[in-house]
């Protein structure tokens, strides 16, 4: 029986019943990677020998009567996570020989849950792109169209899932890095509430794996079904045992509703700072119709919605501020000179990024206060709504673009060019206030490319958008295997 695209939930059932062994699943996944990944280049650091050994150990453990949430299940891990004995480079060639001695906390949680790690998936240089390519490991292609990107920075993980290279993967997200690849590749991803899942060991090479509380950034699950996201989130969620985990555990509240007709949903498809492409608007509309047909209360406008223009500008400033920490002195001075030359009335997204790059701590605190006002606005919104449906990105997967300076790149939206990084406005909407957001497939574009949407939920109520994702999967369908890889 071909189990290539079976859900993790279904595979766990087969493992528990004895229908299949972990060794069989692992060998099948490795065989598939060896046959198909030359065209995709999703798995940049294979770990097949240790995976086979882990699979044998899992089968022996099950024979002894053990059971764990992921016991014997083949999975992949984003390259940016430390895995003991494997290189962690973030795509930086000078760090090709950096091999951590300790697993990242999330890799340890995967292994403790019994997962079999097949290897690591490709990323962009420094994780700072919406594509996944670097001079060390090369370019990862979109499984639906090899001339297009699978997204970034968790693009290797999304492509691996779409190709059947393992049942689950883990990634990270600060600018849509879980959600955009899921949208581009037709799979599922969940950006958890900020701080819900510990991130220690997901650090640049040579940086110490300390339990730092990140601003904006999260780690989270990727899968081929909505229910599998919940399965993996339950493994990942919880504070770092070195910090708040000393005193706290996590118990997420249940979803607000179990039936589609009980949900109150706000649907958005237009942003004041950037147009939304026709393919993405159509996907949002398909979801809106499915919600309406299922009896949900659907609204298109609300006075409670925080200002989208202001949210994007604040997000871009905070994102740029965090990204500039690794700049060389020369690069930082160049950006500071450009920022100083901006007109006082320039409220473009480019200007927000430049100003954010050189924020003083005093100025950062002022911007952070504006973020807190937005966060409180979302609290008010979620007294009237249970979820918000909106785009992840304004387009489907775009062609590879390796222009050396990303600031010189453009993104074409229905034939009109816009600054490349402006496409982050939708991804930043839940990221700014730290809200959970689930990316779900919502059909295909006229070119046959996957198109998704995101479901934004209330803070720490991650199970609400995840449950809505499950219900939409039931009525709309979900993951489809790319024809070339099926």
Single out the catalytic residue among 153, 154, 157, 445. Answer: 153
153 among known catalytic residues = yes
78 among known catalytic residues = yes
Q: Distance between CA 475 and CA 275 in Å, rounded?
A: 28
Single out the catalytic residue among 78, 111, 120, 191. Answer: 78
**ω into 153 cis (within 30 of 0):** yes
Helix or strand run (H / E) with residue 36: helix 22-40
Q: Distance between CA 159 and CA 121 in Å, rounded?
A: 9
Q: Distance between CA 470 and CA 6 in Å, rounded?
A: 16
Query: The tokens of 168 are what?
Result: 């689950």
120 among known catalytic residues = no
The count of other CB atoms within 10 Å of the CB of residue 404 is: 6
Burial of 18 (0-12, 13-18, 19+ CB in 10 A): exposed
Q: Distance between CA 28 and CA 45 in Å, rounded?
A: 18
Cα Dmax for the chain: 70
Q: Distance between CA 138 and CA 42 in Å, rounded?
A: 10
Residues 6+ away with beta carbon under 8 Å from 418: 274, 275, 410, 411, 412
Residue 283 has what DSSP assignment? H
Given CA atoms 182, 188, 194, 197 in this order, what sign does their dihedral have? negative
Residue 274 has what DSSP assignment? B
Residue 95 has what DSSP assignment? G
Please calculate the CA angle 48-51-53 and round it to the nearest 5 degrees: 115
Single out the catalytic residue among 177, 323, 393, 445. Answer: 177
The residues carrying an active-site annotation are: 78, 153, 177
């Amino acid at each position: 029986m071909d189990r290539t695209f079976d859900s993790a939930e279904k595979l766990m059932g087969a493992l528990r019943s004895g229908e299949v062994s972990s060794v069989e699943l692992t060998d099948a996944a490795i065989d598939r990677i060896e046959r198909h990944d030359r065209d995709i280049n999703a798995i940049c650091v294979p770990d097949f020998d240790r995976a086979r050994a882990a699979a044998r150990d899992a089968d022996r453990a099950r024979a002894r009567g053990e059971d764990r949430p992921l016991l014997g299940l083949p999975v992949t891990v984003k390259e940016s996570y430390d895995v003991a004995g494997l290189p962690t480079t973030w795509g930086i060639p000078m760090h090709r020989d950096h091999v951590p001695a300790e697993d990242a906390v999330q890799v340890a949680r995967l292994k403790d849950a019994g997962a079999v790690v097949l290897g690591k998936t490709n990323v962009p240089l420094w994780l700072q792109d919406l594509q996944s390519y670097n001079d060390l490991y090369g370019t990862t292609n979109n499984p639906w169209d090899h001339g297009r990107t699978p997204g970034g920075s968790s693009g290797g993980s999304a492509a691996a899932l779409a190709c059947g290279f393992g049942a689950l993967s883990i990634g990270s997200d600060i600018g849509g890095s879980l959600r955009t690849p899921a949208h581009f590749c037709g799979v599922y991803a969940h950006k958890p509430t900020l701080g819900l899942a510990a991130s220690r060991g997901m650090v640049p090479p040579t940086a110490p794996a300390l339990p730092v509380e990140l601003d904006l950034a999260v780690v989270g699950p990727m899968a081929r079904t909505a229910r599998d996201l919940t399965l993996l989130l339950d493994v990942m969620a919880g504070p770092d045992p070195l910090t708040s985990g000393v005193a706290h555990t996590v118990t997420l509240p249940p979803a607000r509703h179990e039936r589609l007709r009980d949900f109150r949903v706000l649907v958005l498809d237009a942003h004041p700072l950037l147009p939304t492409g026709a393919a993405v608007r159509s996907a949002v509309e398909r979801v809106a119709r499915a919600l309406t047909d299922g009896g949900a209360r659907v609204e298109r406008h609300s006075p409670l919605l925080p200002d989208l223009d202001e949210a994007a500008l604040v997000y871009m400033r905070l994102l740029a501020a965090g990204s500039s920490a690794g700049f060389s002195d020369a690069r930082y001075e160049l950006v500071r000179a450009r920022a100083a030359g901006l007109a006082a009335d320039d409220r473009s997204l480019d200007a927000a990024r430049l100003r954010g790059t050189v924020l003083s701590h005093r100025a950062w605190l002022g911007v952070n206060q504006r973020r807190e006002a937005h966060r409180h606005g979302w609290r008010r919104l979620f007294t009237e709504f249970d979820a918000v449906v909106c785009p992840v990105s304004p387009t489907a997967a775009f062609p590879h673009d390796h222009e050396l300076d990303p600031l010189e790149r453009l993104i074409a939206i229905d034939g009109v060019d816009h600054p490349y990084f402006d496409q982050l406005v939708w991804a930043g909407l839940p990221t700014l206030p730290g809200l959970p957001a689930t990316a779900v497939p919502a059909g295909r574009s006229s070119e046959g490319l996957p198109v998704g949407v995101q479901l934004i939920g209330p803070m720490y109520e991650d199970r609400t958008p995840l449950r809505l994702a499950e219900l939409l999967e039931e009525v709309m369908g979900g993951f489809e295997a790319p024809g070339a890889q099926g």
